[in-house]
């Protein structure tokens, strides 16, 4: 059996307020859930308010079976929330500010665990605030041997080109959407041409181990530092909603690479995980490693 990898997922935990329901979410939370479900020792690094929403979120995380040891509580700021409107299954986000996860602290327990981490994952939303941005910097400094995974996850009002460039310079495994690829390229002064050429140039400019570009219904593109290039089509599936699909892809892609799987396998498994997430409502429904493996095999991978 492959050694269980310790992954610390840094950033937002919040309530997704959809038109017809409320779901616990946030990209790092979704990522942690999917990485844990795929066999990693995945721990969420976030901050919840000392309010009803925080209490409910903490209880839900325990119910989901996640390790909550690195979740901080905040007496001054409320638990995060995002208002989501769906148009043809595609989410549009309003991310409310000055909430608990904007104030993640470099607590001693977090800094201690960081030294043993195999991977630290992060994204642009988590570092919109000065406090959390400083904490991520301290966390990365404390874990020089950990693989650094960035799911860029650009959201309106939560990023600048300079912040994108700073995150990318700390990154070894990168996942972007097709829309985010040219933004990442521009931040690093990489010429934008075809998807494959732009991805390859960005990979080499940043000395990445691997890069994945998600293409929605059209599947994914993967590249790595061995020169491998993988292009996979999307799965045929009825879309419930796309919330959390990219997070599932990123988690399984990262975990597969950490275990030494080749790029083609990592892309196939991640592609399968994203498709399974699209087929269910919300981002926290159960998806097992066996389901992901079976979906990848059934897709010809």
Both tokens of 253, joined, read: 């892609």
- Average pLDDT over the chain, rounded to an integer: 93
What whole-number distance in Å separates Cα of residue 62 and Cα of residue 76?
23
Conformational region of residue 175, where left means phi above 0, alpha means psi within -120 to 50, and beta covers everything else: beta
Name the DSSP letter for residue 126: G
Tens of pLDDT, residue by residue over 11-20, are 999 998 878 7
Q: Which helix (H) or strand (E) holds 106?
A: none
Residue pLDDT, tens place only, 255-294: 999 999 999 999 999 999 999 988 887 678 889 999 999 9
DSSP state of 143: -
Give the tens place of pLDDT for each residue, 157-197.
899 999 999 999 999 999 999 999 999 999 999 999 999 99
pLDDT (tens digit per residue) in 120-137 = 999 999 999 999 999 999
Could you tell me which residue, 141 or 85, shows the higher pLDDT? Answer: 141
Calculate what percentage of the chain has a pLDDT beyond 90: 80
> pLDDT tens across 59-105, in order?
999 999 999 999 999 999 999 998 878 777 676 778 899 999 999 99
* Residue of higher predicted confidence among 7 and 244: 7
Angstrom distance (rounded) from CA 275 to CA 239: 9
Sequence-distant (6+) residues with CB within 8 A of 152 are: 123, 124, 164, 167, 174, 175, 176, 177, 180, 183, 184
Kindly state the tokens that stand for 185. 């390229």
Look at residue 285 in the predicted model and tell me its pLDDT. Answer: 84
Task: Give the whole-angstrom CA distance, residue 203 versus residue 286.
Answer: 33
Mean pLDDT calculated for residue range 102-120: 97
On the question of pLDDT at 1 being above 50, the answer is no
**Region 216-227: what's the mean pLDDT?**
96
pTM: 0.93
For residue 141, pLDDT beyond 90: yes
**Is the confidence at residue 252, as pLDDT, over 90?**
yes
Instruction: List, in sequence order, every residue forming a beta bridge with 177; answer none if it has no partner.
Output: 214
| CA separation for the pair 162, 226 (Å, rounded) | 29
pLDDT of the residue at 240? 66
pLDDT at 301 over 60: no
């Amino acid at each position: 059996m492959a050694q269980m990898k310790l992954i610390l997922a840094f950033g937002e935990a919040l309530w997704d307020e959809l038109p017809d329901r409320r779901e616990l979410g946030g990209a790092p939370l979704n990522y942690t859930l999917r990485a844990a479900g795929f066999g990693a020792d995945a721990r969420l690094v976030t901050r919840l308010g000392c309010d009803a929403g925080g209490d409910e979120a903490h209880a839900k995380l325990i119910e989901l079976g996640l390790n909550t040891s690195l979740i901080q509580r905040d007496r001054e700021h409320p638990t995060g929330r995002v208002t989501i409107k769906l148009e043809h299954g595609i989410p549009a986000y309003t991310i409310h500010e000055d909430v608990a996860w904007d104030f993640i602290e470099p607590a001693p327990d977090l800094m201690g665990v960081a030294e043993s981490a195999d991977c630290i994952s992060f994204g642009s939303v988590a570092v919109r605030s000065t406090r959390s941005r400083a904490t991520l910097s301290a966390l990365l400094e404390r874990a020089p041997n950990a693989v650094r995974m960035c799911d860029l996850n650009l959201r309106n009002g939560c990023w600048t080109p300079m912040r994108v460039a700073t995150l990318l310079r700390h990154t070894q495994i990168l996942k972007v959407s097709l829309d985010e690829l040219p933004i990442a390229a521009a931040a690093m002064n990489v010429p934008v041409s075809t998807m494959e050429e732009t991805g390859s140039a960005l990979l080499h400019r940043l000395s990445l181990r691997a890069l994945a570009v998600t293409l929605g219904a059209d599947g994914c593109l993967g590249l790595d530092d061995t020169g491998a290039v993988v292009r996979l089509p999307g799965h045929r599936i009825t879309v419930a909603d796309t919330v959390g699909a990219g997070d599932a892809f990123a988690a399984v892609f990262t975990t597969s690479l950490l275990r030494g799987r080749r790029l083609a396998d990592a892309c196939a498994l991640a592609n399968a995980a994203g498709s399974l997430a699209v087929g269910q409502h919300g981002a926290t429904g159960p998806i097992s490693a066996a389901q992901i493996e079976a979906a990848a095999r059934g897709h010809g991978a």
